[in-house]
Amino acid sequence: MPSVYLYIPNIIGYFRIIINFVAFAVCYSNKALFAVLYFFSFVLDGVDGWFARKFNQGLALLVYWPFFPSFTGKTSHKDVKHTGNWLLKLYYGYRPFMAFCCVSCEVLYIILFLFADEKSTSLLSACKGLLNQSPIIILVFISTLVGWAVKQVTNVIQSSVVGLGSVKLLLSCLPVMGASVVRLRLDSFSFKRGGEVGVSLSKD
């Protein structure tokens, strides 16, 4: 059995890092090449997930994900069947809709960059410039802007649903300084009256 660092999804991840280095190295000298490389890297982000599921190869470079199930009681952040929020159910339950939102984000970033006149062009100026382009460009811009906005709203809603689990996850990732190992006993984590947060600390 190969090392987890040689799993197909991780190899694709290494390749994506190289692609992005090249893309950003030429982003101002060759915007078209940058756009192609950047979007190709985004496509590979979906491909590595497909390979991970097909060959049952988890991504070895994830640091915090193993803690997610114990904090939320779920095996995936996409498990939203018990939530009452219709947008989350639509987003994760209907893959074409989720794909539209994800692709919209990346395409929006690309077209904003391509139509920015100079490095110092503000975001607002770039948006105004796009509205002066051809009807097709305007349609793409508005469509991707809608998809981008929906994805951001979904992210905020999901963060609020995760709630306390996210706080515990953040605390578990805090770096430990000093010679002694300070262990955060998250099992005793509780919210006290008045909104005060209580965390029990112990030294091993």
Q: What is the pLDDT of residue 186?
A: 41
Please return the burial class of 134, using the count of CB atoms within 10 Å of its CB with bins 0-12, 13-18 and 19+. exposed
Would you list the domain boundaries of the chain? Answer: 1-62, 78-163
DSSP character at residue 182: E
pLDDT tens, position by position, 34-49: 999 999 999 998 888 8
Task: Report the amino acid identity of residue 39.
Answer: F
pLDDT tens, position by position, 158-192: 887 665 455 555 555 555 434 333 343 444 444 44
Rounded to an integer, the average pLDDT of 86-106 is: 92
Confidence grade of residue 68 (pLDDT, cut at 50, 70, 90): very low
Confidence grade of residue 154 (pLDDT, cut at 50, 70, 90): very high
Q: What is the pLDDT of residue 168?
A: 53
What's the rounded Cα separation, in Å, for the pair 153 and 160? 11
pTM: 0.66
What's the rounded Cα separation, in Å, for the pair 58 and 52? 6
> Which two tokens mark 125?
């100026």
